[in-house]
Amino acid sequence: MSSEYAHTLFWPENEPNVAILIPYEKERAFFNELSNGNEDFLEDSLSREPFYTSSDAGFDVLSQDPVRNAKYHFYGTATLAARYCIQKGMGQRHALSLVSYYNQKVDLLKTEDEIAALHAEMCLLMCQEMKEILKHKCHSKIVRQCLDYIYAHLRERITVAEVSEHVQLSESYLSKQFKSEMGISLSEYILRQKIEGAKNLLCYSRLSIVEIGESFCFSSQSHFTRIFKKETGVTPHKYREMAFHSKWDAPDSAPSPLSGEKPGRPDNAEGPPPGGEIPMPEKGA
């Protein structure tokens, strides 16, 4: 053991700039509640104890540069959160895609406050997805097979006939079973998931509205716009515009109608998009 490393092991507790490590039970409780889909706990925890500030105890020093230090801790917590989520049902590929997505985003940030805000966004997104995943676990095997198939083929044309063939049941029986458990028809659920995917691309990508509609196999731009407006109340163009302003309006601006939605960027915005052109991973296994 080197003398330099040995010195760090026996550093006096009252030595300045030495962090008090987060208790293991407290850390485990945070990740357990996140992976249990407990949004109330998570929001309260994040508001009381932000992920990281230079004056906050609980984080060991991994770099003398404060921003780099915060990023190192971000990478670690993203990985831990994904592992907890995988253990409780999140698809491994999707969980690792989320980690990669957010690690790329944080790599472009310049301040500790930005990193803390991104950490909160990431944790809440994972928590919300786990809430849905755990809710679906209560469904029958047939409905879970349908959901898995839909998520895996979201960028393709999906028909009720194809899904019924996949689960080897008649269309009429499957439709009745699905609506009984999910509260909406199978075809309506497919459309809603496609719209959710389109909303992510409107917020996070520079793809045109036509390209986004095509990527989810809508027959035409007018078809995509009509279905999108039916589900959200606004056109794709308006949604992207409001999502952009909800992030970049001045602090004293009127609140955006999309409060709580992820930030986006209009097609004609100049310069690189916030955080770079990093595509949001699709839901699924």
Confidence at residue 49, expressed as pLDDT on a 0 to 100 scale: 76
Confidence at residue 201, expressed as pLDDT on a 0 to 100 scale: 84
pLDDT band at 280 (very low <50, low <70, confident <90, very high): low
Find the mean pLDDT for residues 28-37: 89
Determine the Cα–Cα distance for residues 278 and 262; give it in Å rounded to an integer: 14
Confidence at residue 276, expressed as pLDDT on a 0 to 100 scale: 41
What does the pLDDT look like over 47-76, one tens digit per residue? 887 675 544 445 567 888 889 988 998 999
Residue 252 has pLDDT above 80, yes or no: no
Confidence at residue 134, expressed as pLDDT on a 0 to 100 scale: 84
- CB of 109 closer than 8 Å to CB of 72: no
Residue 15 has pLDDT above 50, yes or no: no
Q: Is 52 exposed, middle or buried (0-12, 13-18, 19+ CB in 10 A)?
A: buried
Find the mean pLDDT for residues 22-29: 72
Place of tokens 């052109």: 277
Mean pLDDT score across all residues of the chain: 78
Find the mean pLDDT for residues 247-271: 38
Torsion angle (degrees, nearest 10) of CA 158, 182, 124, 155 = 0
Which range is least confidently modeled, 15-29, 41-55, 91-105, 261-275?
261-275
Confidence at residue 223, expressed as pLDDT on a 0 to 100 scale: 94
Find the mean pLDDT for residues 13-27: 54
Confidence at residue 34, expressed as pLDDT on a 0 to 100 scale: 93
Residue 38 has pLDDT above 80, yes or no: yes
The Cα-based distances of 256 to 236, 249, 253, 276 in angstroms read: 16, 9, 9, 23
Confidence at residue 225, expressed as pLDDT on a 0 to 100 scale: 95
Confidence at residue 95, expressed as pLDDT on a 0 to 100 scale: 87
Better-scored residue on pLDDT, 58 or 243: 243
Determine the Cα–Cα distance for residues 93 and 285; give it in Å rounded to an integer: 6
Residue 185 has pLDDT above 90, yes or no: yes
CB neighbourhood size of 137 (10 A): 10
Find the mean pLDDT for residues 99-106: 91
pLDDT band at 99 (very low <50, low <70, confident <90, very high): very high
